[in-house]
Structure 1
C-alpha cells in the first residue's frame, strides 16, 4: 500500500517541476522579447535621429560653404575650408573613438541589463 502513495508523490512532484520549467521558459521568452524590442526601438530612434542630424548638417555645411566662398571671393575655397573643418573633426573623433565605444556600450548594456 505504501508504493502507490510514493508513486503518486513522485508523479505530483514531476508535474510541478514540469509546470515550473514551462512557466520559467515562458518568462524568459517574454523577457528576451522585451529586451530585444527595447534594443530595436532604441536603434531605430538613433537611426532616425542620425539621418535627420546628417541632413541638417548637410544643409548647414552647404550654407556655410557658399557664404564663406562668397566672402573669400572663391566658392571652391569656401568648400575646401568647410571640408578641412570636417577633416579636423573626423581626426578628433578617430582619436577619441575608445571613449565613444565605451559610451555606446554602456548605453546599450543599460538597456539590456536594466532589471537584473
Structure 2
C-alpha cells in the first residue's frame, strides 16, 4: 500500500502544480493583454487629440495661404485651386508610397505585440 500512496501523492502533487501553472499563465496573459490594450488605447487617444488639432491648424493655414496666393495673383479662386491641387499631388504621392508605410506599421506593431 505504501507504493500506491506515494503514487497517489505524486499524482496529486502533479495535478496541483499543473493547476498553479495554468492559473499563473492565465494571469500573465491577462496582464499582457491589458498592457497591450492600454498602450493601444492611449496611442489612439493621443493620435485623435493631436491629429484633430493639427487638422484644424492645416485647414486655417490652407485657407490663409489660398487667400494670400489669390491676392498675389489677383484671383482668389485660383489661389484656392492651387492649394487644392497641392493637396491632390500630396495625396497621390502618399497613395504610391502607402505600401511602404503599411510594411513599416506592421513591422513596428508586430514587435510591440509579440514581444
TM-score (norm 2): 0.90
Q: Which residue of 1 aligns with 2:83?
A: 82
Q: Which has the higher contact order (CA 8 A, sep 6+)?
A: 1
Q: Tell me if 1:110 matches 2:111.
A: yes
The offset of 1:26, in angstroms, is 0.7
Q: CA RMSD in A?
A: 1.3
Q: Which residue of 2 aligns with 1:91?
A: 92
Q: Which residue of 1 aligns with 2:24?
A: 23
Between stretches 58-67 and 9-18, larger displacement belongs to: 9-18
Q: How many residue pairs end up in the alignment?
A: 114
Query: Is the Cα contact below 8 Å between 1:39 and 1:108 reproduced in 2?
Result: no
Q: Tell me if 1:72 matches 2:73.
A: yes
Q: Secondary structure at the match of 2:15?
A: helix
Unaligned runs of 5+ in 2: none
Relative to structure 1, the CA distance from residue 46 to residue 109 in structure 2 (aligned partners, 3 Å threshold; closer, same or farther) is farther
Q: Which residue of 2 aligns with 1:61?
A: 62
State the alpha-carbon separation in 1 of the partners of residues 53 and 109 from structure 2.
21
TM-score (norm 1): 0.89
The offset of 1:104, in angstroms, is 2.0
Unaligned runs of 5+ in 1: none
The offset of 1:20, in angstroms, is 1.0
Residues 26-61 of structure 1 show CA distances to partners (whole Å, capped at 9, x for unaligned) of 111111111111122112222222212211110110
List, as ranges, runs of 4+ consecutive aligned residues in structure 1 with deviation greater than 3 Å: none
Q: Tell me if 1:5 matches 2:6.
A: yes
Q: Which residue of 2 aligns with 1:51?
A: 52
